[in-house]
């Protein structure tokens, strides 16, 4: 069934409200339209392309970060509520994968989760104390990894942050990362 232009554009807005990281090809598939049609619809609705949307979302988040600097984050944090949750997106590029298999190196997937876990802590100085992690399936060159971190418990200065990373609808990584607020112990750095 072909949607009218008005209905297609309304559906396009709904889809991007649910998942702002959909690219034009994915939107075209979901809306049974051509990529060119989706681009025209986006322009008519004044919706920037995926790369620009991601940059805009990240630019709004970066000033909120306390425990980690923007340059130290692996991936782009696109949403954050300090002391509660955060979302990060990682576009897998050629320099992140094994040359022969084009599979993402595990330490990069972990680094995305770990930097997001530290970022959600409402502290000026936080460090990872321990982690329980599991990799579920390989991530490939060109994939987009969306990590969501939620503080699941907080006792004194210790936080357990649950991170779930997905590619499309598939879980690729899960971790419970214990982060310690070190603000009271900043003399360690001196």
* CATH code of residue 171: 3.10.129.10
Of residues 18 and 44, which shows the higher confidence score?
A: 44
CB 96 within 8 A of CB 150: no
pLDDT at 185 over 80: no
Quote the pLDDT of residue 62. Answer: 57
Q: 65 and 43 in one domain?
A: no
Quote the pLDDT of residue 190. Answer: 47
Q: 65 and 12 in one domain?
A: no
H-only helix segments in 19-66: 24-31, 35-44, 50-61
Quote the pLDDT of residue 171. Answer: 97
Q: What token pair was written down for 158?
A: 């210790």
Q: What token pair was written down for 58?
A: 């990240």
Q: In what order do the strands lie in the sheet with 144-155?
A: 76-81, 85-91, 144-155, 158-167, 170-181, 126-135
Q: 41 and 110 in one domain?
A: no
Average pLDDT of the residues in 1-24: 83
Indicate the average pLDDT of the chain. Answer: 87
Q: 110 and 16 in one domain?
A: no
Of residues 44 and 20, which shows the higher confidence score?
A: 44
Q: 132 and 173 in one domain?
A: yes
Q: 81 and 12 in one domain?
A: no
Average pLDDT of the residues in 32-45: 89
Quote the pLDDT of residue 17. Answer: 79
Query: Within 13 Å of residue 160, how many CA atoms lie on the same side as its CB?
Result: 10
**Which structural domain range is residue 92 located in?**
54-189
Average pLDDT of the residues in 77-102: 93
Q: 66 and 10 in one domain?
A: no
Q: State the CATH number of the domain containing residue 18.
A: 1.10.10.10
- Spatial distance between the Cα atoms of 100 and 37, rounded to a whole number of angstroms: 36
- Measured from the Cβ of residue 150, the count of other Cβ atoms closer than 10 Å reads 16
Task: Count the domains in the chain.
Answer: 2
At 91, phi and psi to the nearest 5? -90, 120
- Measured from the Cβ of residue 177, the count of other Cβ atoms closer than 10 Å reads 23
């Amino acid at each position: 069934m072909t949607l009218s232009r008005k209905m297609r554009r309304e559906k396009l807005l709904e889809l991007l409200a649910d998942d702002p990281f959909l690219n034009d090809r994915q939107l075209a598939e979901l809306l049974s339209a051509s990529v060119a049609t989706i681009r025209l619809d986006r322009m008519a609705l004044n919706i920037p392309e995926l790369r620009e949307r991601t940059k805009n979302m990240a630019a709004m988040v970066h000033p909120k970060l306390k425990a980690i600097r923007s340059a130290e984050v692996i991936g782009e944090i696109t949403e954050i509520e300090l002391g509660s949750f955060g979302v990060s997106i990682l576009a897998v590029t050629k320099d992140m994968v094994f040359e022969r298999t084009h599979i993402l190196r595990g330490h990069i997937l972990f680094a995305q989760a770990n930097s997001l876990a530290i970022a959600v802590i409402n502290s000026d100085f936080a460090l990872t104390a321990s982690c329980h992690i599991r990799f579920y399936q390989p991530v490939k060159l060109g994939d987009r990894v969306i990590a969501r971190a939620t503080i699941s418990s907080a006792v004194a200065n210790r936080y357990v942050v649950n991170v779930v990373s997905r590619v499309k609808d598939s879980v690729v990584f899960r971790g419970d990362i214990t982060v310690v607020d070190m603000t009271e112990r900043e003399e360690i750095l001196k």
